[in-house]
Structure 1
Amino acid sequence: MMARHSRIIGLGAYRPRRSVGNAEIASRLGLSEDWIVKRSGIRHRGYAGPDEPLSMMAREAAAKALADAGLDPARIGAVVVATVTHLSQMPSLASQVAHELGAVNAAAFDMLAACAGFPYALAVASDLVKAGTADHALIIGAERMTDIVDPDDAATAFLFADGAGAVVVGPSERPGIGPVAWGCDGSRADAVGMTGHWRPELHGDPSVPWPRLGMIGWRVYRWARDDLATAARRAIEAAGLAPGDLDALIPHQANLLIIDELARQLGLRDGAVVARDIAESGNTSAASIPMAMERLLAAGEVTSGMTALTIGFGSGLAYAGQVIEIP
């Protein structure tokens, strides 16, 4: 049998209608706007309104990706949603989105790998397509981080935001998605996680706090500074390339300091594009990589056929990355 490869054939994103500047955040947290920019690179972030539930954002991003691919939803063989903010354990968000889109022939499941969720899901989708298990797979990263972030926590409230991004993965005659380099450093699992468990009785009980996202920022930064470039080089080498061969770097939009440090350590060639969507979108966890890719394409900073490294990392500490061809 001839080898079958995979590639991204469609891309879409949904950005909340409300954009929140640093002035609103800073005044509530007792911080300065300049401090937020220096610590994170963020100037604005999207907050979803009551009429923008997680399912709606995921569906809208997915519909745009399907339209971009020119693909009927009935031809999708698998729908995978990467998210940590679907506040019901079952049924999956993927099953709801698949139904609303009309992906009647698709398997559907959610993937929980936090900010590494998109590259994890992309690796699974790529293998499904290459193996022939699905001819086409729809991958969605969708988050309403405002549902789980404490608005009064100065360590997290200025960082996280809402949004969704999606890609369609299909078969290809040449590799368009490289081998994944992934892993998990469980020794640092307490660096990012939840402060408790969601239970129905929490609603309306003021004596029991609603579980929120908690983060020890310096532990995350040190891991990214010390280990992220190593994982990135593994992904680049697995694709048979060197860092100087990349046209673009599209990492998880965690923090501008981390993004710039990764780019520096990799030693990208002059003119290589680095995604910095965090400045206008904030940290959208599993949604950040496809949203950043969509912004680069819309702005003309990257074009179809370019080679880019996508890499994410988050709670666990889980991480994953692969070299892709820009759709």
Structure 2
Amino acid sequence: MTGSRVVALGHYQPAKVLGNEDLAAMVDTSDEWIRSRVGIKTRRVAGPEEPVDALAAEAAAKALAQAGLTPADIDLVLVATSTAIDRSPNMAARVAARLGMGSPAVMDLNVVCSGFTHALATADHAIRAESASRALVIGADKMTEITDWSDRTTCVLTGDGAGAAVVEAAPAGEEPGIGPVLWGSVPEMGHAVRIEGTPPVFAQEGQAVYRWTTSRLPALARKVCEKSGIAPEDLAGVVLHQANLRIIEPLAARIGAVNAVVAKDVVDSGNTSAASIPMALSKLVERGEIATGAPVLLFGFGGNLSYAGQVIRCP
């Protein structure tokens, strides 16, 4: 058994930008109301010609290019999404077809907003067990397709996009670049974030989620660091699920990550569910805000109420 590491990242967002002023023309809201409550300025909206697998494939292709690899080099594709309307072919199979891959294992994971960190752990476990050698791990969601545009409490939140990571075995003798996962759920709070109905619609109990994240998440995040042997003050970056800026900023402080760059992509991208962590991380790396090899805490939380986190070394 050997550990694994993230060697490259990529992200993709649709071209259409929906600003707060645009929303104010659609529903009873305002730029000031939205910014003061969730910190979001803009979000991206995919058109009907951009299904979830198209978003995912764009991000995956960029990650492969960054890694200097071809689609044939991948033997496992994991797509974290909760907005795949069709059951089969799944999103991973469709991404593999779009990229012209050979015969990878293809699986979707629906763990909503913590989907990417669950998928990253799954890829790490597969590589450690030697059932995969190199994986594409993708978070992709088209949240605007399941948004109730008449509900001002949720329609101001959602955006579309995808982020991807290439994961491979760590070289012999090298410390693993993906630390142990801490994952779990609060089943009795599963109703707090919902995508239900025909057609499916996103709804949530915002105050319940806020209370849980602010009271429980800091201790869980510190436990993630402990499992990886990293003190919170030694983190170079913190990438939490991009749900709400008013949650992200105080949580990073309460975790004790006083020297870390804190991802705040929610301001420009909104809540993109499973895409939010890989997309935000990819942007930090692209801008050179975190050094190669530096420790970064990833922590997803949301629907079910599920959570998953790990410390990785920045590619």
| SS of structure 2 residue aligned to 1:57 | helix
> How far apart, CA to CA, are the structure 2 residues paired with 1:225 and 1:10?
31
| Aligned residues of 2:189 and 2:304 also touching (Cα < 8 A) | yes
> How far apart, CA to CA, are the structure 1 residues paired with 2:48 and 2:82?
18
| SS of structure 1 residue aligned to 2:132 | coil
Residue 78 of structure 2 corresponds to 80
| SS of structure 2 residue aligned to 1:10 | strand
Q: Which amino acid aligns with 2:191?
A: D
Residue 184 of structure 1 corresponds to 185
1:185-200 superposed matches below 5 A: 185-196=186-197, 198=198
> How far apart, CA to CA, are the structure 2 residues paired with 1:140 and 1:43?
25
Residue 226 of structure 1 corresponds to 215
| SS of structure 1 residue aligned to 2:239 | strand
Q: TM-score, normalised by structure 1?
A: 0.93
Residue 279 of structure 2 corresponds to 291
Residue 303 of structure 2 corresponds to 315
> How far apart, CA to CA, are the structure 1 residues paired with 2:85 and 2:282?
26
Range with bigger deviation, 47-56 or 289-298: 47-56
Structure 1, residues 124-147: CA drift from partner, whole Å, max 9, x if none?
001111221111011110111011
State the percentage of identical aligned residues: 47
| Aligned residues of 1:75 and 1:105 also touching (Cα < 8 A) | no
Residue 57 of structure 1 corresponds to 55
Structure 2, unmatched stretches of 5+, are none
| SS of structure 1 residue aligned to 2:210 | helix
CA-CA distance at 1:51 after TM superposition: 2.6
Q: Which amino acid aligns with 1:107?
A: A
1:1-327 superposed matches below 5 A: 3-172=1-170, 173-196=174-197, 198=198, 210-270=199-259, 272-327=260-315
| Aligned residues of 2:23 and 2:30 also touching (Cα < 8 A) | no
> How far apart, CA to CA, are the structure 2 residues paired with 1:61 and 1:211?
25
- After TM superposition, what 4+ stretches of structure 1 lie above 6 angstroms from structure 2? none
Structure 1, residues 271-295: CA drift from partner, whole Å, max 9, x if none?
x200000010110000000110111
Q: TM-score, normalised by structure 2?
A: 0.97
| SS of structure 1 residue aligned to 2:161 | strand
CA-CA distance at 1:27 after TM superposition: 2.9
| SS of structure 2 residue aligned to 1:29 | coil
> How far apart, CA to CA, are the structure 2 residues paired with 1:114 and 1:294?
19
| SS of structure 2 residue aligned to 1:262 | helix
